A and B are shown apart, each in its own frame.
Chain A
Amino acid sequence: MRIKKTFILGLVASLGFANLGLAPSALAAGEAVKLKDIEFSFEGPFGTFDRAAAQRGFQVYREICSSCHSAQYFAFRNLEGIGYSEEMAKAIAAEYQITDGPDDFGDMFERPGKLSDRMPAPFPNQNAARAANGGAYPPDLSVIVKARPGGADYLYSLLTGYEEPPADIELAPGQYYNAYMAGHKIAMPQPLYDDMVGYADGTEATVEQMAKDVTVFLAWLAEPSMEQRKSIGFSFMIFMSIFVVLLYLTNRRIWRPIKKGAMPWVGKDEKA
């Protein structure tokens, strides 16, 4: 018995250790800068996306970020996921011009966006994006929250992390100092300044507020199925917990006579 316990404890401990071992590998890429820890409503096992914040974040994305960054997996129909009605999503889509075709004459043409369309990218290709940004490529933002260690906290920290560079740091032209970027040098100029957008719901558009809102939007965009995942997970856990208790009781009952030395199966063959 004692051996069994040590074995279990040992394995648990080694798994824990192995986990410690994992952490640095994930952190290594971003260097060990402590990120700002923001309380987002989508954190935790029951977390959901704050629809109002996500809609404000969409506005920030549309009016600011989308002039440099694409979000190629973002279709207008997805807007219903952050609380827009179908009509509103249709209206937003229609504000964009989408290249379609070829038509019956073989020509491409422009038409207003539909729900099934994806958000158009600001540049036709990577080279054009680099050319317009001093050689740096503004990455696609669809999954950016999953693609950086620290996720949402990193994104918020980055957007609010522009500072005066320390004296010993030399910045090339087109480089900016950011406390949270790996290597602290970033080719993206500070994108957010107070009151750059006018929020329809009257929320004050401070840098922190916009950074938080656009982070909520991009966290949602990185994983639109998160709420469904957590709610299915909850049902699964409840179901499995009850099921495991039943399995435990069944198992105990089946084994009870055996532990006392009975052999109920002996002689069964002959009777059958």
Chain B
Amino acid sequence: MSTGSFKPKNGALRWFDDRLPILSLVHGSLGAGYPAPRNLNYFWNFGSLAGLCLVIQIATGIVLAMHYTPTVAGAFNSVEHIMRDVNYGWLLRYIHANGASMFFIVVFIHIFRGLYYGSYKAPREVLWMLGVVILLLMMATAFMGYVLPWGQMSFWGATVITNLFSAIPLVGDQIVTFLWGGFSVDEPTLQRFFSLHYLLPFVIVGVVILHIWALHLPGSNNPLGIDVKGPQDQVPFHPYYTAKDALGVGVFLIFFGLFVFYMPNSLGHPDNYIPADPMVTPAHIVPEWYFLPFYAILRAVPDKLGGVLLMFAAVGLLFFLPWLDTSKIRSAIFRPAYKMFFWLLVVDCVVLGVVGAYPPEGAWILIGQLATAYYFAHFLLILPILGKVEKTKPLPQSIAQAVLGDKAGAKPAAQPAE
């Protein structure tokens, strides 16, 4: 494969690349110079889709920010001004608001892909942990973005979530005052959230670069979860995966477009079209759908501090996943028992999401507590034990062997195409 030896054909470009090898960099990281396993399935599209989401959020967000006013008196009006008076402002805003949901859908699938195929295991632990950092940054960014239109859910969501920090012993109240920049969610809060909402996506860009760097050392994992043994197991990224990723982008944009053009408000809460009013508390304060599972965990514990700790632990736990899972086999394909537990975890997360949407009354409380307990049991009990006791299936000899069968044997590794 043509790593390292890249030379642009055009003389001027070659001159430039000798002085700043940026074309070589692209060639080696997204081009023909980057080898990827030949058997990646469509779940490997979600990484590039997440990158696309980030670019879309930044591009639309920068234009929105040109028309948006981060003041208590002006925020709601400026969003309606964007919707009504700015040319294609409604389109920008609907892309940005639904784009946040699309981003989370893509990233959640991306994460569960990693869980299913064991992509967090050696040598990809740091890559995985950087992914968890990105998830945390996304959550912070989306939370603060949702405050900006200054509707009822913006205001009350911000109030509920920032208030959580008051549960921290001794310094809790000081921290909350510090976050608010005052004694309630008010103008200073809105302005700092706007500033940070503008900043954090660029921090995410930085971590994404590290994430990709960490990816390119070992290269992609694959559905079989076995290491690449030689060039016959691989294809150059370009044109094979650029074409496949482009197809994924096309399908994704259709899905995205269905929301933007035909149900732009279906993922939002109607209350957020009511201007924020500190005197009127909404009947039920619910976060955006992507926070619902975490919200359910938060409310599973009657004690505020306990709930907050548990909620942070639910994400924090993921940092330790590479060591909690004791199995050396990566892919669930060869771990029948793990495969079952994986699907139970998926169901459990969906249940948590449903619980998070309902007020904590009656049976929902118990269901929420059981689902929370199971979530932690999956990572803290089942995974460590399972790796030691489960019976796994035999691994194939190589990717090429598994994918091509006899055809692989027929063609020696270094045979030219002609």
Residues on A facing B (Cβ under 8 Å): 3-4, 7, 10-11, 14-15, 17-18, 20-22, 24-26, 28-29, 45, 73, 78, 139, 142-143, 146-149, 151, 182, 222-225, 228-230, 232-234, 236-237, 240-241, 243-244, 247-248, 250-251, 254-255, 257-258, 260-269, 272
A22 contact from B105, B243, B283, B357, Cβ within 8 A: B357
Could you tell me if B41 and A21 are in contact, using CB atoms closer than 8 angstroms? no
Please give, as numbers and ranges, the residues of chain A lying within 8 Å of B253 by CB-CB distance. Answer: 240
Known: A225-B84, A234-B261, A266-B414. 6 other contacts (CB 8 A): A4-B42, A45-B262, A149-B270, A229-B91, A255-B243, A265-B417
Known: A29-B271, A233-B261, A263-B417. A24 touches B357 (CB 8 A): yes
The smallest C-beta distance from A170 to any residue of chain B, in angstroms, reads 21
Please give, as numbers and ranges, the residues of chain A lying within 8 Å of B395 by CB-CB distance. Answer: none
Could you tell me if A260 and B264 are in contact, using CB atoms closer than 8 angstroms? no
Could you tell me if A248 and B257 are in contact, using CB atoms closer than 8 angstroms? no
Q: Which residue of B lies closest to A154 (CB)?
A: B270
Could you tell me if B284 and A267 are in contact, using CB atoms closer than 8 angstroms? no
- Interchain CA distance A228-B84 in the complex, whole Å: 12
A251 contact from B83, B247, B356, Cβ within 8 A: B247
A247 contact from B105, B232, B246, Cβ within 8 A: B246
Bitwise interface map of B from 265 to 295 toward A, beta carbon under 8 Å scored 1, else 0: 1010111011000000011101001001000
Could you tell me if B257 and A146 are in contact, using CB atoms closer than 8 angstroms? no
Please give, as numbers and ranges, the residues of chain A lying within 8 Å of B231 by CB-CB distance. Answer: 263, 266
Please give, as numbers and ranges, the residues of chain A lying within 8 Å of B83 by CB-CB distance. Answer: 223, 225
Could you tell me if A18 and B350 are in contact, using CB atoms closer than 8 angstroms? yes
Could you tell me if B41 and A4 are in contact, using CB atoms closer than 8 angstroms? yes
Q: Which residue of A lies closest to B405 (CB)?
A: A261
B358 contact from A25, A230, A243, A257, Cβ within 8 A: A25
Please give, as numbers and ranges, the residues of chain A lying within 8 Å of B38 by CB-CB distance. Answer: 258
Query: Chain B: interface residue count, which band?
Result: 35 or more
Known: A247-B243, A266-B414. A261 touches B264 (CB 8 A): no
Could you tell me if B90 and A240 are in contact, using CB atoms closer than 8 angstroms? no
Known: A3-B333, A139-B274. A18 touches B289 (CB 8 A): yes
Answer yes or no: B353 CB below 8 A from chain A CBs.
yes
Could you tell me if B283 and A182 are in contact, using CB atoms closer than 8 angstroms? yes
- Work out how many contacts link A and B, with CB atoms closer than 8 A: 168
The smallest C-beta distance from B120 to any residue of chain A, in angstroms, reads 17
Could you tell me if A147 and B354 are in contact, using CB atoms closer than 8 angstroms? no
Could you tell me if B264 and A229 are in contact, using CB atoms closer than 8 angstroms? yes
Please give, as numbers and ranges, the residues of chain B lying within 8 Å of A143 by CB-CB distance. Answer: 80, 273
- Interchain CA distance A151-B246 in the complex, whole Å: 38
Please give, as numbers and ranges, the residues of chain B lying within 8 Å of A148 by CB-CB distance. Answer: 270
- Interchain CA distance A139-B277 in the complex, whole Å: 12
Q: Which residue of A lies closest to B290 (CB)?
A: A18
7 A–B contacts from the bound complex (CB under 8 Å): A148-B270, A225-B90, A233-B262, A241-B254, A244-B250, A258-B240, A267-B417
Rank and list the top 10 A-B pairs by shortest CB-CB distance, nearest first: A233-B261, A21-B354, A147-B273, A261-B407, A264-B417, A267-B416, A244-B250, A25-B357, A247-B247, A146-B273
Could you tell me if A269 and B2 are in contact, using CB atoms closer than 8 angstroms? yes
Could you tell me if A269 and B5 are in contact, using CB atoms closer than 8 angstroms? yes
Could you tell me if A11 and B254 are in contact, using CB atoms closer than 8 angstroms? no
Please give, as numbers and ranges, the residues of chain B lying within 8 Å of A15 by CB-CB distance. Answer: 105
Q: Which residue of A lies closest to B266 (CB)?
A: A22
Could you tell me if B269 and A263 are in contact, using CB atoms closer than 8 angstroms? no
Answer yes or no: B313 CB below 8 A from chain A CBs.
no
The smallest C-beta distance from B98 to any residue of chain A, in angstroms, reads 12
Could you tell me if B250 and A262 are in contact, using CB atoms closer than 8 angstroms? no
Answer yes or no: B200 CB below 8 A from chain A CBs.
no
Please give, as numbers and ranges, the residues of chain B lying within 8 Å of A257 by CB-CB distance. Answer: 417
Q: Which residue of A lies closest to B1 (CB)?
A: A265
Answer yes or no: B73 CB below 8 A from chain A CBs.
no
Bitwise interface map of B from 206 to 245 toward A, beta carbon under 8 Å scored 1, else 0: 0000000000000000000000000110011001100110
The smallest C-beta distance from B397 to any residue of chain A, in angstroms, reads 15
- Interchain CA distance A21-B201 in the complex, whole Å: 29
Please give, as numbers and ranges, the residues of chain B lying within 8 Å of A229 by CB-CB distance. Answer: 90-91, 94, 261, 264
Q: Which residue of B lies closest to A264 (CB)?
A: B417
Bitwise interface map of B from 120 to 134 toward A, beta carbon under 8 Å scored 1, else 0: 000000000000000
Could you tell me if B417 and A261 are in contact, using CB atoms closer than 8 angstroms? no
Answer yes or no: B43 CB below 8 A from chain A CBs.
yes
Q: Which residue of B lies closest to A231 (CB)?
A: B261
Could you tell me if B404 and A261 are in contact, using CB atoms closer than 8 angstroms? yes
B236 contact from A233, A243, A265, Cβ within 8 A: A265
Please give, as numbers and ranges, the residues of chain B lying within 8 Å of A232 by CB-CB distance. Answer: 91, 261
Answer yes or no: B32 CB below 8 A from chain A CBs.
yes
Answer yes or no: B370 CB below 8 A from chain A CBs.
no
Could you tell me if A20 and B246 are in contact, using CB atoms closer than 8 angstroms? no
Q: Which residue of A lies closest to B246 (CB)?
A: A247
Could you tell me if A28 and B283 are in contact, using CB atoms closer than 8 angstroms? yes
Which of chain B's residues 87-106 have a Cβ closer than 8 Å to chain A? Answer: 90-91, 94, 105
Answer yes or no: B19 CB below 8 A from chain A CBs.
no
Q: Which residue of A lies closest to B273 (CB)?
A: A147
Could you tell me if A18 and B353 are in contact, using CB atoms closer than 8 angstroms? yes
B2 contact from A10, A78, A248, A268, Cβ within 8 A: A268
Please give, as numbers and ranges, the residues of chain A lying within 8 Å of B232 by CB-CB distance. Answer: 263
Answer yes or no: B415 CB below 8 A from chain A CBs.
yes
Which of chain B's residues 348-369 have a Cβ closer than 8 Å to chain A? Answer: 349-350, 353-354, 356-359
